[in-house]
Amino acid sequence: MSIPKDNITGVILAGGQARRMGGEDKGLVRLNNKPMIEYIIDAIRPQTGKLLINANRNHERYAQYGLEIVADELSGYCGPLAGMASALQTIKTDYMVTVPCDSPFVPDDLVERLSHALHDNDTKISVAHNGERIQPVFCLLKNTLLKSLTEYLHSGERKIDRWFEQYQYATADFSDIPETFDNINTPEDIEKALSKLIVN
């Protein structure tokens, strides 16, 4: 059994500094003449009831997609957990699913797999697994975790997997499509991703 998509808000995490990309906002980096975030929007929008973008700059450009923009409440680019916490304060659904803005190969059943894992294991968090390790920014979590996450961040912690370890989280198997987690961090990665897009 999976969670109804109308009870899930999708959050695209686009709040990083992108140092390896020369500081360029990765969500707006063009891949095959299309901003990378558009690949994520196209993939996730049909899988969720609502979609928003976590971004700390270029709000006007992101606003062109007609989605709510949420900035980190913590200043200083504190990582994906800060984006998750800020989004959790905003959502109205019971569940939130997160994906990064720099992984253009999101499958059309990402949310369904995460949803089944969470429901079947009766947990508050499910995390994608590529067959070798968890992929923590691809996760589904319950909105009741806001207090825990906020306290964790205010204690000075930033590591996402360490926060997950406080819970009996479920893993969703994506070992059949590990390219889901190919992310673009450098100009060289753009060329590799472009060759995959052409092949597909």
Q: Which stretch of DSSP H or E encloses residue 98?
A: strand 95-100
Segment 53-82 shows an average pLDDT of 85
Q: What is the DSSP secondary-structure string of 146-184?
A: HHHHHHHHHTT---HHHHHTTS--EEEE-TT-GGGG---
The domain spanning residue 145 has which CATH number? Answer: 3.90.550.10
* Residue 133 confidence (pLDDT): 94
pLDDT at 20 over 50: no
Strand-pair partners of 54: 13, 70
Number of structural domains found in the chain: 1
Mean pLDDT, rounded, for 104-119? 96
| pTM for the predicted model, two decimal places | 0.90
Query: Helices 110-121 & 36-44, crossing angle to 10 degrees?
Result: 50
The residues facing 135 across adjacent strands are 128
pLDDT of residue 178: 93
| Strand (E) or helix (H) holding 191 | helix 187-199
122-172: pLDDT as tens digits: 999 999 999 999 999 999 999 999 999 999 988 878 788 889 888 889 999
Mean pLDDT over the full length of the chain: 88
Q: Which of 11-15, 23-27, 30-34, 115-119 has the lowest mean pLDDT?
A: 23-27
- Domain extent, residue 90, equals 5-199
* Residue reference for tokens 């916490």: 85
Is 68 within 8 Å of 90 (Cβ atoms)?
A: yes
For residue 15, the SS3 value is: coil
3-class DSSP assignment, residue 93: coil
* CA angle (8, 11, 17) in 5-degree steps: 165
Tokens of 185: 């961090």
Q: Answer whether 112's CB lies under 8 Å from 97's CB.
A: no
- In 3D, which of 108, 106, 105, 93 has the Cα closest to residue 46? 108
